[in-house]
Amino acid sequence: MAVSPNILVIDDDEPIRDSCQQTLSKAGCRVKTAKEGNEGLLLFKEEAFDVILLDLKMPGRSGVEILEQIKEDNPETIVIIMTGYPSVETAIQTMKMGAYDYISKPFTPEELRINVRRALEKRDLVLENIYLKRQHEEELESDIIGQSEGMQKVLQLARKVGPTESTVLITGESGTGKELIAKAIRNYSNRKDKPFITVDCGSLVESLFESELFGHVKGSFTGATATKHGRFELANGGTIFFDEIANISTNIQAKLLRAIQEGEVTKVGSNQVIKVDVRIIAATNQDLKHLVNEERFREDLFYRLSVVPIHLPSLRERPEDIPVLAMHFLREYSQKRKKTVGSISEKAMKALMQYSWPGNVRELENAIERAVVLTEGNVIQPVDLLYHELSTAREVSHGEERPRSLEDVEKEYISQTLETYNGHRSKTAQSLGINRKTLWRKMKKYGLE
């Protein structure tokens, strides 16, 4: 469902206003008119317009003054100047002030349509630039690394649901890659070339949440110095991803439900309804059904979001993916850090496989990055991974298992390696992937001299 462009015509000539409204309405636009500048400014402050057609010569405040005020309030607004007295000087002056173009009176309906269509194309570029500024990545990654049966099922479901318009609820522990799956769904869809806007529900301030989602008009609250597009408008035609959706308040839940159901939003401080066409994907690491039972999450919103539920398995549920993920991150960070770390030793890989990874893929990525940065060799060894809080061994105490300290594990590993090489420090240091000075310091620390 395409959104009708919103056009404002400000002109003291009634036939011109009526002609513009008739021509542009037939072209599928929503059109409002004002017979003088102050009336036009009031309409402009109430809602966001895609294009404003502004007469240059009017009683009271001139078109130049109105243009100056519009650009001061919202520099992104696209303005076309209408004038019966065209001149090079006029064109230069208004262009310097921020007007997109000007059209000479009298003009034909076709000339008007062409000018407005070009202005709308410019508007699309403006919104795209806003969207690009919000992106925190240069490229949306769609390749999901995982050979396990669980991840293959997730990818298969993502491919199936991608081309549909159904809302998707992605669940799973923190660090499992929920946003990556959301981007994959988007890239499998017909909206793949349209905006993908992320809303981090856990980081936005509650008092500004509504403004972030739906936008606001100038003066609607303290600090609202200009009319602003909300995330829904920026995502128009594309996808909105609500990360950690469980964190939004019940008040915002109600407004979000309406936006999803009706396909329309209202800016804070405005009564104007804006039609939007977005695809919703949400994610959470919490049990929304449990929150519904506790009346902390709306049941109707839960069912609206979870038309297609996708659950991501934790990394400990798919250990067969650990080696391929570890090697992927090793290649990535070796290149980024300009180091020649080419592999992971068998013992180090065993340590990775035995760890429970409570932080999931994100924790594994951090561990490999840290190992690449800190290793002094070209092969990741267990000692490199000890900088990360993982332990590969357990000891029994009073009939119960408890994790051994990192120092205990490191001491034992160094001692065993020294024994293997009959106390030869150079060979031991080489095997551990550290230099002799580092080995000597650790031996001194653990009393292994």
Q: Which two tokens stand for residue 48?
A: 């966001």
213 contact partners, CB below 8 Å, separation of at least 6? 199, 230, 231, 232, 252, 255, 256, 259, 265
User: What is the three-class DSSP state of 445?
Assistant: helix
> Which string of DSSP letters, residue by residue, matches 185-223?
HHHTSTTTTS-EEEEETTTS-HHHHHHHHHEE-TTSSTT
User: What is the three-class DSSP state of 352?
Assistant: helix
Q: Render the burial of 200-215: b for 16+ CB within 10 Å, e for the rest.
A: ebeebeeeebbbbbbb
381 contact partners, CB below 8 Å, separation of at least 6? 345, 347, 348, 375, 431, 432, 433, 434
Beta bridge partners of 239: 196, 279
Whole-number pLDDT of residue 431: 66
Please list the ranges in the chain whose pLDDT falls under 70. 1-3, 86, 88, 130-143, 386-407, 409, 431-433
Q: To which H or E segment does residue 241 belong?
A: strand 239-243
Whole-number pLDDT of residue 1: 39
User: What is the three-class DSSP state of 393?
Assistant: coil
Domains of the chain and CATH, by start: 6-134 (3.40.50.2300), 149-313 (3.40.50.300), 316-446 (1.10.8.60)
Whole-number pLDDT of residue 402: 44
Pairing of strands 51-55, 78-83: parallel
Whole-number pLDDT of residue 123: 86
Whole-number pLDDT of residue 308: 96
